[in-house]
């Protein structure tokens, strides 16, 4: 019996999680653009809206968020992007996906991506329940999910494969769709 590697399992989660998040952010904001960036390749569209494109020199195949995107500003035009550029972005979204148990290293990796993109919505999604130790650490020290950049948070969620959805009642510190 062969088992899939954690990277293979994670890759299989990109599309269903992307689809779920596009729908959820779309329902909240009326729009959402997300693309798979785990391989270090960012579309011209995404590159054109990032204000500080120097970040791309630090990102690559081994170090990139699994999904990256944005919510565009109400009333902005998608085309021509060459004229609109960063002005069409209301908020950035970064998503890191893990098939295993969340570790402190995973948390800081997801926070790093959120900070690099100045993403209001930095998400860490796992197939496994959020460890009790992580919840307790966040309750006591508050730094697990708090990001000092603008007082934003890292949102940690649990993916339910059978429902193809994130368990809305298991987010830490809360659902990003409740604001």
Taking the C-alpha atoms of residue 115 and residue 101, their distance in angstroms, rounded to an integer, is 23
Taking the C-alpha atoms of residue 67 and residue 39, their distance in angstroms, rounded to an integer, is 10
Q: Of the given ranges (17-21, 39-43, 84-88), which has the lowest mean pLDDT? A: 84-88
Q: Where are the alpha helices (DSSP H) in the chain?
A: 6-29, 44-49, 81-84, 104-116, 132-141
Q: Which CA distances in Å does 42 have to 15, 34, 47, 92, 148? A: 16, 11, 7, 14, 26
Taking the C-alpha atoms of residue 179 and residue 177, their distance in angstroms, rounded to an integer, is 6
What single-letter DSSP state applies at residue 174? -
pLDDT at 80 over 50: no
Kindly state the average pLDDT of the residues 64-83.
71
Q: What is the pLDDT of residue 110?
A: 96
Name the pLDDT band for 86 (thresholds 50, 70, 90): low
Kindly state the average pLDDT of the residues 55-60.
74
Taking the C-alpha atoms of residue 46 and residue 35, their distance in angstroms, rounded to an integer, is 9
What kind and span of H or E run contains 90?
strand 89-98
């Amino acid at each position: 019996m062969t088992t899939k590697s954690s990277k293979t399992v994670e890759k299989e989660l990109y599309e269903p999680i992307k689809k779920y998040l596009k729908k959820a952010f779309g329902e909240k904001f009326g729009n959402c653009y997300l693309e798979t960036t785990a391989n270090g390749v960012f579309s011209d569209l995404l590159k054109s809206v990032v204000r500080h494109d120097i970040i791309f020199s630090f990102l690559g195949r081994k170090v990139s968020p699994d999904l990256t995107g944005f919510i565009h500003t109400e009333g902005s035009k998608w085309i021509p992007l060459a004229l609109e550029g960063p002005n069409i972005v209301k908020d950035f979204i970064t998503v890191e996906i893990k098939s295993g148990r969340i570790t402190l290293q995973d948390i800081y990796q997801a926070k790093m991506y959120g900070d690099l993109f100045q993403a209001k919505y930095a998400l860490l999604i796992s197939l496994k329940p959020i460890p009790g130790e992580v919840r307790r650490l966040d309750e006591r020290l508050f730094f697990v999910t708090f990001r000092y950049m603008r007082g934003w948070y890292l949102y940690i969620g649990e993916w339910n494969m059978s429902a193809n959805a994130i368990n809305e009642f298991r987010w830490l510190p809360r659902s990003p769709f409740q604001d």
